[in-house]
Amino acid sequence: MPYRIKEVADYVGISVRTLHHYDRAGLLKPGSVTASGYRLYTDSELEKLQQIMFFRELGFGLRQIKEILDSPGFDRMQALAAQKILLLEKEKRLEAIIGLVEQTLDAVKGGIAMNKKDMFRAFDMSEIEKHQEHYTEETRQKYGHTEAYKESQKKAASYKKEDWAAISARGAEIYQELADLMVLSPADPQVQQAIGAWRQHITDSYYNCTPEIFRGLGDLYVQDERFTASIDKTKPGLARFMSEAMHLYCDSIAKKGR
């Protein structure tokens, strides 16, 4: 079941040296080591290695990748979603460059000079870098920000790997449900019920989410662009929609309480 280093290297298409390097960098340590010092990798490490490959493909530095993967709230699904967006962004750039080559070919064929302004625009990376920065900053700042999040961090530390998958899957489920309900008013009973499920999910998975905290969280969704961007990935405008719905939800709880 455990693979030796060359098996992994051949399998993945990288060098043994690279795995040594990742080990020393703390990016990917072998699952175990034999008495004689041989590194042994398991499927779990292969999975992590795949994540690393995705990030590397996107031009992330090993340092950054380590930081992201080591982040306590690292969510594989969310990472994959972000990676997909970034890869599509990269494809867009590539296509622009291909278009530029074709344009240049035509210009050379026709013996005419190209418009200097267009000659290099396609090489621009700022769009991709923006997305990269966004994602890194998001995972970096996601935790240790508010009181509630500190609490969540502690609770989160106790979860096993399998739990995380279930939790984030449930989260994505609710996001999607709410995204589908965006055609309705935030006050609509269906929406309010989904919001209730959202609060329950937070309480179950992270921390006791009181109405006060929940209201503050709603504010955060529109005030902190990191949250806005993250939530709007499911569907643009979802963050604002949820924020309003959460406020109405808290209002109605307050009313009932009196």
Partner DNA sequence: ATTGACTCTGACGTTACGTCATGGTTTATT
Partner DNA sequence: AATAAACCATGACGTAACGTCAGAGTCAAT
**Closest CB to a copy of itself among residues 166, 187:** 166
The token pair at 195 is 């919001």
CB of 247 to DNA, least distance (A): 42
Cα 73 from Cα 66, distance rounded (Å):
13
Region from 2-10, 107-115, 178-186, 191-199 binding DNA, contact rule CB under 7 A: 2-10
DSSP structure class, residue 114: P
Determine the 3-state secondary structure of 34 from DSSP: coil
Q: Which residues of 182-216 are buried (b: 16+ CB within 10 A; e: fewer)?
A: beeebeeeebbebbeebbebbeebbbebebebbbb
| Choice between 33 and 94, CB closer to a copy of itself | 94
Of 90, 17, 20, the C-alpha closest to 55 is: 90
Work out what residue 38 binds among a copy of itself, DNA, none; the CB cut-off runs from 5 to 8 Å by kind: DNA
Span interacting with a copy of itself, options 99-107, 132-140, 185-193, 219-227, rule CB under 8 A: 99-107
- Binding at 189: pick from DNA, a copy of itself, none (beta carbon under 5-8 Å per type): none
Which does residue 71 touch among a copy of itself, DNA, none (CB within 5 to 8 A, set by kind)? none
Choose the contact partner of 254 out of DNA, a copy of itself, none; CB within 5 to 8 A by kind: none
- What does the alpha-carbon distance between residue 231 and residue 249 come to, in Å, rounded to a whole number? 19
105 binds, among DNA, a copy of itself, none (CB under 5 to 8 A by kind): a copy of itself
Residue 133 engages a copy of itself in binding (rule: CB under 8 A)? no
Q: Which of residues 26-55 bind a copy of itself (CB under 8 A)?
A: 43, 46-47, 50, 53-54
In DSSP terms, 41 is beta-bridged to 3
Helices (H), the chain: 5-12, 16-24, 43-57, 62-70, 76-110, 118-121, 126-141, 147-157, 161-180, 189-205, 211-223, 225-232, 238-257
Beta-carbon contacts of 201 under 8 Å, excluding residues fewer than 6 positions away, are: 167, 170, 171, 174
Distances (CA, A) of 256 to 211, 219, 246: 12, 22, 15
Q: Which of residues 17-56 bind DNA (CB under 7 A)?
A: 17-18, 20-21, 30, 34-39, 56
44 or 193: CB nearest a copy of itself:
44
Nearest in space to 39 (alpha carbons), one of 62, 22, 57: 22
Binding site for DNA (CB under 7 A): 4-7, 14-18, 20-21, 30, 34-39, 56, 61-63
Binding site for a copy of itself (CB under 8 A): 11-13, 43, 46-47, 50, 53-54, 57, 76-77, 80-81, 83-84, 87-88, 90-91, 94-95, 97-98, 101-102, 104-105, 108-109, 111, 113, 116, 119-120, 123-125, 162, 165-166, 169, 172
